[in-house]
A and B are shown apart, each in its own frame.
Chain A
Amino acid sequence: MASMRDIKRRQISVTSTQQITKAMKLVATVKLQKAKARAERNKPYFNTLYKTICSILTKTEYMEHPYLVANGSNRKAMIVITSNKGLAGGYNSNVVKEVTGTGFPVRDVDIYAVGRKGAETLARKGYPIIEDDSEAINEPLYKDAIDISKRVLESYSRGEVGEIYMAYTNFKNTVSQEARLLKLLPLNIEELPKEDENDSMVMMNYEPEADDALDILVPKYISNLLYGAFVEALASENGARMQAMDSATTNADNMIADLSLKYNRARQASITQELTEIIAGSEAIS
């Protein structure tokens, strides 16, 4: 049996670890609230933009638009949104799994990494990291989303990549987050939801013409999608960390209970032993 001193030392170490995990949980909870509020604020903008794009696409005759047909390149661009810090349970590895699970050859995927953890893991697996914008995930700005989507779209229109994907974590609620892979371009008309009867009755006029409007709206759509993914990912990261730290704190509680039981036993054993020795000693003398 371990000595009393060893058990005591371990107990102290577990207790201080628990204090850290408890504090981290609190921090994550506060950050989660903020990130959630932010995600909510972006919703109306995103929904309206999405509806407008859908209605343009369902009404345009022009299906030849470069954003709608693949340009023939085999390469894929992938925007991978993870976190800069660890200790968030399976949060980062789930996103990485979405990327590796596509089955695309490693050399054919250009990674635009947002988040250090994902960038490091994918680089180790041999994926070419084209860009690392990890700073953006600390405090998502709309400007970052515009800049990144602009660079990805340029590479698309130059024909360097044929498809654009985005891997991020969708924030369902505080306890459940889901890693997801989303295809951004080319847009697939069939995948867009059909409009309700009411709206499609309106004849919409476009200024400039519909396909020119697409040129302008699609980049806005992509950058907004990206911004939305940033804020969702941030909320998910903190949700995942909150959960991970919560279970760590509970585990520490169990360990402390277990250790204090062991400690008491060891103490009792040593007292019994001392007594036996004293009694044995006194018997030998008399």
Chain B
Amino acid sequence: MADKTFRLRIIAPDRIFFEDDVTFVEFRTMEGDIGVYPGHISLTSVIEPGIAKIHMPSGEIKEAALLNGFSEVLADRVTILAEAVEWPEEIDVSRAKEAQIRAERRIRDEDGDIDRAELALKRSLVRQRLAR
């Protein structure tokens, strides 16, 4: 199967983040983690903060923090629309750490929108995990 590839495009609002032929990609959706090989059944799903793993035909695995957006999977191509997506070297760890503390505080004090604080917490954890 290693020679079979499909087109992966990850598009952010202000740039095309990634576009190339890949053999396999995994990422996290609202229904759980999914992995996509070529010939996948068509599927549109909403993305949860997580680490996307992109398997290149050369065997190299690229990782990116995929924080928000949705994906459209077709048999021969996958399009991920991401409002926030970052390579490990683009992540600002101290900022993520700060966001984590802020979000934890908000959850503890039950101050304001808890769902939003939880999402912010998830995002900051993903960023820190990947940057390490």
Contacts and interface: CB of A to CB of B under 8 A. Distances in A.
Contacts of A41: 14-15
A204 B14 contact: no
A224 interface: yes
Contacts of A42: 13-14
Interface string B16-35: 10000000000001110000
Contact of A207 (B13, B16, B45): B45
Interface string A134-173: 0000000010001000000000000000000000000000
B83 interface: yes
A142 B68 CA distance: 13
A56 B70 CA distance: 13
A52 B14 contact: no
B125 interface: no
Contacts of B69: 220
Interface in A211-225: 213, 216-217, 220, 224
A224 B14 CA distance: 11
A49 interface: yes
B74 A224 contact: no
Interface in A196-243: 202-208, 213, 216-217, 220, 224, 227
A272 to B, nearest CB: 68
Contacts, number: 62
B44 A216 contact: no
- Interface-centre pick from B13, B15, B16, B72 (highest chain A CB count, 10 A): B13
A47 to B, nearest CB: 9
A48 interface: yes
A25 to B, nearest CB: 27
A238 to B, nearest CB: 18
A45 interface: yes
B43 interface: yes
Contact of A56 (B12, B14, B31, B44): B44
B11 A48 contact: yes
A207 B32 CA distance: 10
B43 A202 contact: no
B44 A206 contact: yes
Q: Dominant SS at the A interface?
A: helix
Given A48-B81, A220-B83, A204 B13 contact: no
Contacts of A208: 30-31, 45-46
A216 B79 contact: no
B13 A142 contact: yes
A72 B111 CA distance: 33
A237 B64 CA distance: 36
Given A49-B81, A207-B29, A220-B70, A202 B42 contact: yes
Interface of B: 11-16, 29-31, 41-46, 69-70, 72, 74, 79, 81, 83
Given A45-B11, A45-B13, 14 more contacts: A45-B12, A45-B81, A48-B11, A48-B72, A48-B81, A202-B42, A204-B43, A205-B43, A207-B46, A213-B44, A213-B70, A216-B46, A217-B70, A220-B69
The 10 closest A-B pairs by CB, nearest first: A207-B45, A45-B11, A205-B43, A207-B31, A142-B13, A202-B42, A45-B13, A216-B46, A204-B42, A41-B14
7 contacts: A44-B11, A45-B81, A52-B44, A52-B81, A142-B14, A205-B43, A227-B13
Interface of A: 38, 41-42, 44-45, 48-49, 52, 56, 142, 146, 202-208, 213, 216-217, 220, 224, 227
